[in-house]
């Protein structure tokens, strides 16, 4: 079995944000395989986060991000369970990253359920007309529409957007990781994005 060094544990902790002992255990379980250890931690984090997801999150912060040049700004409310966690660096930095992400990615809503049904119906109609105009047979048009709708969700719903600082993960993944890191449920409650002239 590969020897687990302190440097390896530190490297895994830096990448995942998990505790030292958790990192060491994951590396031992993965027999020193770094990627496998990260995956083990990710699965454990998701499991822990799922248990916390139904807990009340009534504390938190309102964070602002103003893009250099002061032509674009974002206000976002991010909630957690206690004032103690709201004041930690991990939580504050998460809230700032969310605000910066919103500035860059311009989501229309936090979740797909929050999207206006009329907007969705219009999108579906456009996709359907496009598919029919391309001569696609009627029986597969619905599948094409569904596929394009999923892509649309990943472009306009904050939780489904690829995170601008790490496009391999979605904002939902980032929330899950942060829940695992801070040990409390976290929700992104609302946001407003302001751009000069809009």
Each domain of the chain, given as residue ranges in start order, spans: 6-52, 59-110+157-195, 116-155
Percent of the chain's residues with pLDDT above 70: 90
How far apart are alpha carbons 74 and 76 in whole angstroms? 6
Lowest mean pLDDT among 8-12, 124-128, 193-197: 8-12
pLDDT at 66: 94
Q: What is the mean pLDDT of residues 130-145?
A: 86
Q: Which fold has domain 116-155?
A: GTP Cyclohydrolase I; Chain A, domain 1 (1.10.286)
Q: Is 163 helix (H, G, I), strand (E, B) or coil?
A: strand
3-state class (DSSP) for residue 76: strand
Cα dihedral 143, 148, 150, 151 sign: positive
Write down the pLDDT at residue 5. Answer: 85
Poorest-pLDDT segment among 36-40, 67-71, 164-168: 36-40
Q: What is the pTM of this model?
A: 0.69
Given the structure tokens 């986060």, which residue do they identify?
49
What is the pLDDT, as a whole number, of residue 15? 72
Structure confidence at residue 12 as a pLDDT band (50, 70, 90): confident
pLDDT grade, residue 47 (50/70/90)?
A: low
| Predicted confidence band of residue 53 (pLDDT cuts 50, 70, 90) | low
Q: Which CATH number fits domain 59-110+157-195: 3.30.360.10, 2.40.50.140, 3.30.479.20, 3.30.43.10?
A: 3.30.479.20
The strand pairing partners of 66, in sequence order, are: 73
Give the model's confidence band at 109: pLDDT under 50 very low, under 70 low, under 90 confident, else very high. Answer: very high
Listed in sequence order, the DSSP H helices in 6-116 are 6-16, 20-29, 34-52, 83-86, 89-105
In whole numbers, what is the pLDDT of the chain averaged over residues? 87
Q: Do 87 and 110 meet the contact criterion of CB atoms below 8 Å apart?
A: no
- Quote the CA–CA distance of 154 and 163 in Å, as a whole number: 11
- What's the CATH number for 6-52? 1.10.8.10
């Amino acid at each position: 079995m590969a020897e687990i060094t302190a440097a390896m544990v530190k490297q895994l902790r830096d990448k995942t944000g998990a505790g030292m002992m958790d990192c060491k255990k994951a590396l031992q379980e993965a027999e020193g395989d770094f990627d496998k250890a990260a995956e083990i931690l990710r699965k454990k984090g998701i499991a822990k986060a799922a248990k916390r997801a139904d807990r009340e999150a009534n504390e938190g912060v309102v964070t602002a991000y103003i893009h250099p040049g002061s032509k674009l700004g974002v206000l976002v409310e991010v909630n957690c369970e206690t004032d103690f966690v709201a004041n930690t660096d991990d939580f504050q930095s998460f809230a700032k990253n969310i605000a910066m992400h919103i500035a860059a990615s311009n989501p229309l809503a936090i979740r797909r359920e929050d999207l206006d049904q009329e907007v969705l119906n219009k999108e579906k109609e456009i996709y359907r007309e496009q598919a029919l105009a391309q001569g696609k047979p009627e029986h597969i048009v619905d599948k094409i529409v569904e596929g394009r709708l999923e892509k649309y969700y990943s472009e306009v719903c904050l939780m489904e957007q690829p995170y601008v600082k790490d496009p391999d993960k979605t904002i939902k993944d980032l929330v899950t990781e942060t829940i695992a890191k801070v040990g409390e449920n976290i929700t992104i409650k609302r946001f407003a994005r302001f751009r000069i002239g809009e």
